[in-house]
Structure 1
Amino acid sequence: MNYLAVGIGGMAGSVIRYMISLGTMNVGTAAFPYGTFIANMLGCLILGLLTGLNEQKKIIPKPIMIGLGTGMIGSLTTFSTFGVETVRLYEASSIYMAGIYVLLSAGIGLLLAGGGFYLGQKRSGKEVTNG
């Protein structure tokens, strides 16, 4: 059952990622990989939210959580593409843009994952503490 959930989720995530890439082809400057950035940030937020929501009370059944987390979010987000795009920016003498891409991806990604996790915990009824 888990394999089927991952497969269905993976199919959905890859289609969503492709749609994001198509939708951002003409956005801003071609030097910045908007499609991958948006897909990765969206994945950070959604996975953080789902994990926080399901941490205390198992609101989402395990096969669905695996399908959404490993399948959909796993295929939506991509660290390998992020790595290759960063190297390409660097190789194209866009050292500044490569640095911005890395800092924005790590910084905003962590904020969205943490924010999503916090919102998920609040939504599940868990009292959120800082320590």
Structure 2
Amino acid sequence: MIKLYMMIALGGASGACLRFFISESMLKLLGRGFPFGTLTVNILGSLLMGILYGLIDKEIITASPAKTLIGIGFLGALTTFSTFSMDSLLLLQQGHFIKMALNIILNVMVCIFMAWLGLQLVMQKG
């Protein structure tokens, strides 16, 4: 059981570091006018989650330990639903209704699409 938690911790630490790097990079590149960092990590994480599940489904990799290390640890720390929720709430409180709606629509719809795309990329290779 300790090995399982260590894998989650290792994946989580790596995902959190990448999340910080991407968020900071987007902030420097595009500014504070819209939560692009959160959107970017959610899109990337959704694509990677689709790829992971496709690889598991095709038995290219085994669910354990990949699902634990990558799915729960790395992608769990990389993607940022709690940050997405707070970003949306702050936009609402600041009266930026269009930006809030855009943030919600993009994070939900684009991320679902990216998860589907990631799965399709793996499933079509045969």
The TM-score normalised by the length of structure 1 is 0.88
In the alignment, is the contact (CA less than 8 A) between 1:44 and 1:112 conserved in 2? Answer: yes
Match of 1:86 in 2: 88
Aligned pairs, how many? 124
- Structure 2, unpaired ranges of 5+: none
Partner of 1:105: 107
Q: Deviation of residue 29 (structure 1)?
A: 4.6
Task: Give 1:33's match in structure 2, choosing from 32, 35, 39.
Answer: 35
Counterpart for residue 129 of structure 1:
none
Q: Which amino acid aligns with 1:100?
A: L
Deviations 1:53-83 (A, max 9, x none): 1113252451133100100000000111100
Q: Does 1:95 align with 2:118?
A: no
User: Counterparts of 1:104 and 1:62 in 2: how far apart (Å)?
Assistant: 31
The residue type equivalent to 1:59 in the other structure is I
For the Cα contact (< 8 Å) 1:54–1:120, is it kept in 2? no
1:15 aligns with 2:25: no
1:50 aligns with: 52
User: How big is the shift at 1:28?
Assistant: 2.9
Could you tell me how far apart the structure 1 residues matched to 2:13 and 2:81 are? Answer: 18
| Contact preservation (8 Å) 1:2, 1:66 | yes
What is the CA deviation profile of residues 23-44 of structure 1, one whole-angstrom value per residue up to 9, with x for unaligned ones? 1112335221011110111000
SS at match of 1:116: helix
1:121 Cα deviation after fit: 1.8
1:82-124 deviation digits (Å, cap 9, x = unpaired): 000001011111000000111111111011000001112223x
Identity level (%): 30
Partners of 2:94 and 2:119 in 1: how far apart?
A: 37
Please, what is the CA RMSD of the aligned residues?
A: 1.4
CA distance in 1 between counterparts of 2:122 and 2:19 reads 23
